Amino acid sequence: MTEKIGILGGGSWGTALGILLAKKGMEVDIWLRNKRQVEDIKRDGENKKYLPDVKLPANLNVTGDIEKAIRDKKLILLATSTQGIREVLSRNKTLFNKEQVIVNVSKGIEVGSLKCISEIVKEILPENKYAVLSGPSHAEEVAREIPTTIVSASVEKEVAEYVQDVFMTNYFRVYTNPDVVGVELGGALKNVIALAAGVSDGLGYGDNTKAALMTRGIFEMARLGEKMGGNLNTFSGLSGIGDLIVTCTSMLSRNRRAGILIGKGYSIDEAIEEVGMVVEGIKTTKSAYELSKKYGVDMPITRELYQVLYEGKSVKESVPNLMGRDKKHELENIVSIEDLKW
């Protein structure tokens, strides 16, 4: 299979997927907003800012011309930050044609509208086929061909399978799933829990604490996801618990790294500057907190993190607050207490 593919966004993930596709023989154009960065990548043969020491294939083209990246392409990959996707699509709407498949690989929820990226795309490009590609997948590892599994989700089976075929390699295994809402929310919400796990690390807490945050965090993610129309089973898969594990435990995770810095006393701005890349979980925490109120879902970890990030609460108060909550049954979030027969 050889396809013409445009990638909007040349950060670490967009670049890594561009490398993967180019190695498969695809014709790939990656668009970057920063013209200086385009020049640097062309000169160096690598994206030193976001993916250093990984050489780009000769057939991978980097451009500052967004029309070149969109025109005459069969598939368009959205790899810009979540909060910038609406602006990029709206400004360049006339460049798209309705036959193009739009594939999102960003992980977040739009601040203000509280919309998932699928909803933004549907609003701006209502006639285009859509899929989301998500799962435990550090760009640095994919670019070096380290075995990775991920999921392609679309409401149309043939679209999910088409995306599966485009991206599948002997080191990049792609599963399919019809649950677009669940897959998108899993990818977005796990960044909130990863930030909290990082804060815990920054405070000097141990593995016990992180395991608790991850386990209770997946409950929060699944409960909100189900209320918003997602399938509970999705959250036990690659885009749920799988992505949560890798993002909470790895130092390649920008959300965990930012959380560590915040736990050590850095401000949000200082943490973002130190990480040097977009930290999606910071804005997603705000959106997730507002969604929890909108849908009436109790999300104590998300609430505590929101108060730390946006209300000036001390991080040292958060863990005691979580530990001192009223006694509860572990299974109350997935079955009613009345159904339990002891």
Residues with active-site annotation? 190
Phi, psi at 269, each rounded to 5°: -65, -40
Q: From start to end of 245-332, where are the E strands?
A: none
What is the torsional sign of CA 225, 231, 235, 239?
negative
Closest CA to 222 of 164, 182, 163: 182
Angle at 256 between CA 254 and CA 259, to 5 degrees: 110
∠ at Cα 183 (296, 299), nearest 5°? 25
**Pairwise CA distance, residues 150 & 266, whole Å:** 33
Rounded to whole angstroms, the Cα distance separating 145 from 339 reads: 47
Question: How is residue 36 written in tokens?
Answer: 């200086």
The answer to whether the beta carbons of residues 52 and 117 sit under 8 Å apart is no
